[in-house]
Every structure is written in structure tokens, then in C-alpha cells.
Amino acid sequence: MRHSATALLLCAAAASSLSACDVGRLQFTNDHRLSFVSPASRAKVTVPVTISWSMKDFTPSGLDGSTSDSTGLYAVFVDRAPMPVGKDLKWIGHDDTSCQRDPRCPDAAYLAAQGVYITQQPSVRIDTLPPAHAGVGDEEHFVNVVLLNGKGRRIGETGWYREFRSKRRSS
């Protein structure tokens, strides 16, 4: 009897803590607006490699100051996760004191050094890939593409992911 009461109490506590997470605000939906064109999933590539895609219901307009969810630009993250939802491009350098002191940071060169590419085109050319972890066989790489509004702020939770491989470089 005592074990049943304890179990019931634990279940009630777990249920109330889940309600505090506000799970209803999360958007667990598939977004099929972006389709990768190249490279094929898990394809072996050589650098430079061009990542390309097609996109529906989004108009690339650049950093025009708009806060619309249907216009803006693409951010491509190579071998790294994108910035959190609602954060802008400045977040990329948030833990770099030299970037924090420079009002022009992050610029395109800084972002590329971090494996981040901003574009209005449905493609990006990557000239170098980040070093891979030690191992044998092909190196594994990936890109994440997310949408930014005209202020450079990430739009929503949606992101698209593509894996590819390259020949292992000597260490």
C-alpha cells in the first residue's frame, strides 16, 4: 500500500512538472518547403562543394530590416548547430570578446571562419571543410539550413539538415 501511494505521488509530480514545460508551444511539424538539390544525401564530395536547394513560400530579400517570416535570407551552418530560435547573427560571436567589441562583427569573413554562410541564393559554395575527428574511412560532414528575417534573426524552429562525406585528410 505504501509503495502504491509513493508511486502515485511521483506520477502526480511528474505530470505537474510536464505542464510547466508548456509543451503546447512547441511546433512539432514537418516543414517540406526546402528540398536539397545537391549533394545527394550521404554523397562523397570534394572541396569546393556547392550545397544547393529549392525553396517554396519564402522570398530571399536580404538584410532589409523586415521582421516578416516569409522574407529574409538563408543561414547555412557547416558541421555545427544553428543559433537558437529568435537569436540573431550577433549570437554567433556572443562568447568571443573581440567580436563583442567590434560593432561590425560578425562580418562574412568571421562567419565563414565559424562555418556559417549567409546567402540570398538557394546555394552556397564551401571552399574548406572543418577538420574532422580522428578516425578511419571518409570524413562525415553536415549542413543545417535555417531561415533568417531581414534583421538577421532566426525564424521559427524549422531547419533542414543534409549529411555528406569527404575523403579523410591526413592528420
The Cα–Cα gap between 139 and 116 comes to 19
The string of pLDDT tens digits covering residues 122-160 is 999 999 999 888 888 999 999 999 999 999 999 999 999
Q: What's the whole-model pTM score?
A: 0.82
The Cα–Cα gap between 19 and 96 comes to 36
The Cα–Cα gap between 27 and 158 comes to 9
The string of pLDDT tens digits covering residues 31-44 is 999 999 999 999 99
The Cα–Cα gap between 168 and 134 comes to 9
The confidence score (pLDDT) of residue 70 equals 96
The domain spans of the chain are 25-166
Query: Of 2.60.40, 3.40.50, 3.30.2010, 1.10.287, which CATH number belongs to 25-166?
Result: 2.60.40
Pick from 34, 20, 64: nearest CA to 156: 34
